[in-house]
Structure 1
Amino acid sequence: MSASPFDHPFLSGLLGDAEIYAHFSAEADIAAMVQFETALACVEANEGVIGAESADAIERGLADFKPDMAALHDGVARDGVVIPALVKAMRQAVGTPHDEKVHFGATSQDAIDTSLALRLSDVLAVLEDRLRGVVAALQSLETAQGSVELMAHTRMQAAIPVTAARKIASWRLPLERHIERLEAVRRDVLVLTFGGAAGTLEKLGDKGPAVRMRLADALGLRDIDNPRHSERDGQAVLANWLSLVTGSLGKMGQDIALMAQNEVGEVKLAGGGGSSAMPHKQNPVGAEVLVTLARFNATLLAGIHQSLVHENERSGAAWTLEWMLLPQMAVAAGASLRAARVLLDGLEFRPQGAT
């Protein structure tokens, strides 16, 4: 048993997803926060908030920036967020007299939430590509085997004969709807967070809106008038979408596991699933993984809804809960899509009465 199966040396073979997980690594987070700070200095120089020489010094000083992870560890233990220790290290890398212009006008949440948005852009691109791949695999399966006759089951009891195409459609159509929903999800989460201490950009005066718009453009994120420091509905929309994806794949996995039972025998699975005690068995491992990850994300979704409850302008507790849950949900969705594709590539429908 492990505290996290997603990066476990062997459990990750079943439940992990190295590609998605990499976007939530400390290294990826720091790189995105450095990108934010460098772009911030550049646009502030363009608007005359800081000098061009300061922006140049910040860009040079952070080009190969590698912070001391132990110092960041101790800083988070003390401050609850990484930015005070990280900005201190950044300022040391930039050096005097330009060090005080690093992070000028921003607050910790601006850097942390914008880092998340930048990384989610890549994560959602990967998930969309995989989702389309699963839909394409289902379409191919329907073309090749859709005419195979199966027994429909309602309330776990045999009902009437149907074709495999009917079963496949019930797996494919929800996934197509999730693709359609993704653009709205992107609009909710791929936004710039930039508001300063309490969302007013008070240090930038009348330059604030112009800096914010330039910064959003530079980072490829949507500009919004009011930073969502304590408005976490966008993250909840993303979490809901992730749970919908894994839930739909879980329904497919549950169907396949039932159809693969020896007494039913309506599908044949390729490879794997061996038993240490019963060598005759071929366990439906891939299908079971889809069910597990669906239930996992459904459980975590309730926690994300708890993280909506921010007090006043910022909550340390609700925000920290979000850090704990949202990355796991994204990795679970990635792993589920990967497992679904492997499962479908080795799936063969068997007509009723076939041996």
Structure 2
Amino acid sequence: MSAYVIDSELFRDQFGTQVMRDIFSDQTTVQRWLDVEAALAKVQSDMGIIPESAAQEIIRQSRVENIDLAKLKAEMDRTSHPIVPLLRAMKQVCSGDAGEYIHWGATTQDIMDTGTILQVRDALDAIESSYRELYANTRELARKYRDQVMVGRSHGQQALPITFGFKAAGWTEELRRNFQRLRQMRERVLVGQFSGAVGTLAALGESGVEVQERLFKELGLGCPVITWHTSRDSMAELICVMAIACGTAGKIAHEIFSLQKTETAELEEPFATGKVGSSTMPHKRNPPICEGVIAVNRIVKSTVTLAIEGIVADHERDKVVLQSEREYVGKVFNLTHAAIKKMAFVTGGLSVRTQNMERNLFTQQGLLMSESVMMGLSEALGRQEAHEILYQICMQVFEKQTPLKDALMQNHEIAERLSESEIDQMLSPHAYIGHATTFVDKVLAQSLDE
């Protein structure tokens, strides 16, 4: 039995992905620490700070396969320190005195922070790839159903006609904005950490800044203007943007979940024979994927507060904040990637029940079109007077469940001003979608890379 769902043999693929589990695994974490140590050794060798032979040996041995992770864990427990045991293990595998030159001028947080950022970079690449797939799917839904009229709802109630393409276009544009956020924050988030004990690089003397700059060029990361040991705003931004990205996946999932309800039945997440809705009710066709994504979104959202809390850190170093990040960074990426991947699957195979969309346009027997009638009548009576008349009629029609057209024709103030054909036109949902299709076209004219 697993202590947390991401690692559960049974539930892990509902709350994470293999890609993210690999990126944030113990093996990859240690390898990224070693990658930083190897890059540091190379740069310092090139600058003549440490012997070239030592650097070559450090680089050669900086492979996680050379580290006994069980022994490393035991030493971490014994020393209450993550990096010193790794340095001791590397000293043992490096020939000669090469191990004496590893970690030259660095501090533990430099290695761990930069290692985490390397993992985050890989994780963002995976997130963006899956986001492209989700975006492409919703964009195709917007294109395909550009003209498919359906009920637009506000406060959970029927409001006015829209098109399903218009709804899908709204998802698409939100995804595009999120993709921009993901790309734009890279400049602020993918920044390395190499500053020494309190951020001054004192241990390296005059060469400190040059080592720092060369190290991050070697690793392909941004170079900080000043240490961010206790400036965790970029990590907070990372989690906030991830929560927004996951939130849009959750929003689409919730919309599909709502529109799959039996009484509405306009959408349905992909179904295949063998998918079971209930252990006791054989007829059930539930939306478990969407439900899972909604749940995942709630968990990710709850982590934002913890990330923001980390901005308030103590003096020049604060392990409390680092321990918090160790818990939630990999978790948030797993959850978010799972949500995006699942919604890419759902939107790629979404069942769109156009016949039910058409049916639901008329379930209230014309009440959906009250605004259309009111605006038509406003030209003769004024808007407020028209609203008062329509309000009284609509409330009676709602209670009696009778056709709105009949009530309109029986009202002498309306019958004197509007012909039956005019009323029929005003009560046509397909003739009252405004600029819905224009907005779809505007969304379709955009792309992720603009």
Task: State TM-score, norm by structure 2.
Answer: 0.76
Give the superposition deviation at 1:268: 3.0
Give the superposition deviation at 1:240: 0.4
Tell whether the 8 Å contact from 1:164 to 1:349 is kept in structure 2 after alignment.
no
Q: 1:139 to 1:309 in 2, by over 3 A?
A: same
Q: Which residue of 2 aligns with 1:10?
A: 10
How is 1:135-150 mapped onto 2 (pairs within 5 angstroms)?
A: 135-150=135-150
Q: Which residue of 2 aligns with 1:77?
A: 77
User: Matched residues, percent identical?
Assistant: 29
CA distance in 1, matches of 2:93, 2:201: 25
Asked if residue 93 in structure 1 is aligned to residue 93 in structure 2, the reply is yes
User: What one-letter code is carried by the residue in structure 2 that aligns with 1:39?
Assistant: A
Q: 2:294 aligned to 267, 291, 301, which one? A: 291
Asked if residue 167 in structure 1 is aligned to residue 167 in structure 2, the reply is yes
Tell whether the 8 Å contact from 2:232 to 2:310 is kept in structure 1 after alignment.
yes
Q: Which residue of 1 aligns with 2:322?
A: 319
Q: Which residue of 2 aligns with 1:307?
A: 310
User: What one-letter code is carried by the residue in structure 1 that aligns with 2:93?
Assistant: A
Q: Which residue of 2 aligns with 1:247?
A: 247
Structure 1 residues 60-82: Cα deviation after superposition (integer angstroms, max 9, x where no partner): 33357521222222233244441
Structure 1 counterpart SS, 2:106: coil
How is 1:219-230 mapped onto 2 (pairs within 5 angstroms)?
A: 219-230=219-230
How is 1:188-203 mapped onto 2 (pairs within 5 angstroms)?
A: 188-203=188-203
Tell whether the 8 Å contact from 1:57 to 1:98 is kept in structure 2 after alignment.
yes
Give the superposition deviation at 1:228: 0.9
Tell whether the 8 Å contact from 1:58 to 1:99 is kept in structure 2 after alignment.
yes
CA distance in 2, matches of 1:51, 1:28: 28
Tell whether the 8 Å contact from 1:243 to 1:297 is kept in structure 2 after alignment.
yes
**Which 4+ residue blocks in structure 1 deviate beyond 4 angstroms?**
none
CA distance in 2, matches of 1:171, 1:4: 31
Q: Which has the larger radius of gyration?
A: 2
The 10-residue stretch of structure 1 (37-46 or 89-98) with the greater mean CA deviation from structure 2: 89-98
Q: Which residue of 2 aligns with 1:106?
A: 106
Q: Which residue of 2 aligns with 1:350?
A: 353
The 10-residue stretch of structure 1 (244-253 or 71-80) with the greater mean CA deviation from structure 2: 71-80
Asked if residue 32 in structure 1 is aligned to residue 35 in structure 2, the reply is no
Q: 1:64 to 1:286 in 2, by over 3 A?
A: closer
Q: Which residue of 2 aligns with 1:125?
A: 125
CA distance in 1, matches of 2:170, 2:293: 16
How is 1:325-340 mapped onto 2 (pairs within 5 angstroms)?
A: 325-340=328-343
CA distance in 2, matches of 1:24, 1:63: 16
RMSD over aligned CA atoms reads 1.7
CA distance in 2, matches of 1:223, 1:276: 56
User: What one-letter code is carried by the residue in structure 2 that aligns with 1:228?
Assistant: W
Structure 1 residues 279-312: Cα deviation after superposition (integer angstroms, max 9, x where no partner): 1011111211221111111101111112222211
Q: 1:145 to 1:80 in 2, by over 3 A?
A: farther
Tell whether the 8 Å contact from 2:145 to 2:163 is kept in structure 1 after alignment.
no
Structure 1 residues 70-105: Cα deviation after superposition (integer angstroms, max 9, x where no partner): 222223324444101111101111143222101110
Tell whether the 8 Å contact from 1:269 to 1:346 is kept in structure 2 after alignment.
yes
Q: Which residue of 1 aligns with 2:51?
A: 51
Structure 1 counterpart SS, 2:7: coil
Structure 1 residues 297-347: Cα deviation after superposition (integer angstroms, max 9, x where no partner): 110111111222221111111110111011111111100111001111221
CA distance in 2, matches of 1:57, 1:269: 55
Structure 2 counterpart SS, 1:185: helix
CA distance in 2, matches of 1:65, 1:349: 50
Tell whether the 8 Å contact from 1:304 to 1:326 is kept in structure 2 after alignment.
no
Gaps of 5+ in 2: 361-450
Q: Which residue of 2 aligns with 1:207?
A: 207
Structure 1 residues 176-202: Cα deviation after superposition (integer angstroms, max 9, x where no partner): 001111222211221111011111111
Gaps of 5+ in 1: none
Tell whether the 8 Å contact from 2:23 to 2:119 is kept in structure 1 after alignment.
yes
Tell whether the 8 Å contact from 2:268 to 2:287 is kept in structure 1 after alignment.
no
